[in-house]
């Protein structure tokens, strides 16, 4: 067992666990943050997508031993705080477009969407169809058309201040 320290949703946390424990279990089971969902454990469904230093990652595929003291993980619970608002513009877009049915995949979907918008902005461009096609999060309810509309609306909201 080792002690692992990092930032989680803006707070410094420490956990004692084996280096090989996946971050999904560290966040959910040891730290009690349940937004990232367990879907497949293989990084395929992407229900556990969160941000590691601003990039979308599947927490089920990241070992806690690979996380450094200065690394920051942001889950859906901490997303709104990144813009200092009750909801992040992408979360608001999800509500406005009534995306969720069962809702299980939605935290990962939103975190992926935010990261994709940020990536496009960093490259000095808006989202394209190719960007949408690169989003591989699985939604077992099939709300993909509403997800796509919400991402476009959320991207507009992020332009205004998110």
Region 11-40: mean pLDDT is: 98
Region 33-43: mean pLDDT is: 95
As a whole-number percent, the residues of the chain with pLDDT over 90 amount to 96
Task: Please report, for the domain that includes residue 21, its CATH number.
Answer: 3.10.20.30
According to the model, what pLDDT value does residue 161 have? 63
Number of structural domains (the chain) is: 2
According to the model, what pLDDT value does residue 24 have? 98
Region 101-118: mean pLDDT is: 96
Task: Please report, for the domain that includes residue 125, its CATH number.
Answer: 1.10.150.120
**pLDDT per position as a tens digit, 112-130:** 999 999 999 999 999 999 9
Q: Are residues 46 and 107 in the same domain?
A: no
According to the model, what pLDDT value does residue 160 have? 76
**pLDDT per position as a tens digit, 53-102:** 999 999 999 999 999 999 999 999 999 999 999 999 999 999 999 999 99
Q: Are residues 65 and 85 in the same domain?
A: no
Among 79, 102, 136, residue at a domain's last position: 79
Q: Are residues 13 and 75 in the same domain?
A: yes
Region 102-116: mean pLDDT is: 96
Distance, C-alpha 8 to centroid of its chain: 12
Among 79, 111, 143, residue at a domain's last position: 79
Q: DSSP letters of 29-86?
A: IIT---SSPPS-SSSSS-TTEEEETTEEEEGGG-BGGG--TT-EEE-HHHHGGGTTSS
Q: Are residues 118 and 154 in the same domain?
A: yes
pLDDT at 20 over 80: yes
**pLDDT per position as a tens digit, 132-147:** 999 999 999 999 999 9
Q: Are residues 57 and 112 in the same domain?
A: no
Q: Are residues 57 and 92 in the same domain?
A: no
According to the model, what pLDDT value does residue 162 have? 59
Expressed as residue numbers, the domain containing 111 is: 80-161
Q: Are residues 38 and 103 in the same domain?
A: no
Return d(Cα 159, Cα 162) in angstroms, integer: 6
Q: Are residues 37 and 110 in the same domain?
A: no
* H/E run at residue 162: none
33 in Cβ contact with 75 (< 8 Å): yes
Return d(Cα 24, Cα 61) in angstroms, integer: 8
Return d(Cα 40, Cα 51) in angstroms, integer: 18
Query: Coil, strand, or helix at residue 89?
Result: helix
For the record, the structure tokens of 69 come out as 């003291």
Among 25, 50, 79, residue at a domain's last position: 79
For the record, the structure tokens of 15 come out as 């956990």
């Amino acid at each position: 067992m080792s002690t692992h320290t990092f930032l989680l949703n803006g707070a410094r946390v420490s956990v004692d666990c084996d280096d090989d424990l996946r971050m999904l279990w560290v966040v959910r089971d040891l730290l009690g943050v349940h937004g990232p969902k367990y879907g497949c454990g293989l990084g395929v469904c992407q229900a556990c997508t969160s941000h590691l230093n601003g990039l979308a990652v599947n927490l089920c595929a990241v070992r806690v031993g690979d996380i450094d003291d200065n690394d920051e993980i942001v889950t859906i619970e901490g997303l709104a705080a990144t813009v200092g608002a009750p909801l992040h513009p992408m979360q608001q877009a999800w509500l406005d477009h009534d995306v969720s049915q069962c809702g299980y995949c939605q935290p990962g979907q939103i975190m992926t969407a935010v990261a994709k918008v940020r990536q496009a902005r960093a490259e000095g461009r808006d989202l394209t169809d190719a960007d949408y096609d690169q989003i591989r999060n699985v939604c077992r309810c099939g709300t993909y058309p509403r997800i796509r509309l919400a991402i476009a609306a959320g991207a507009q909201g992020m332009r205004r201040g998110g």
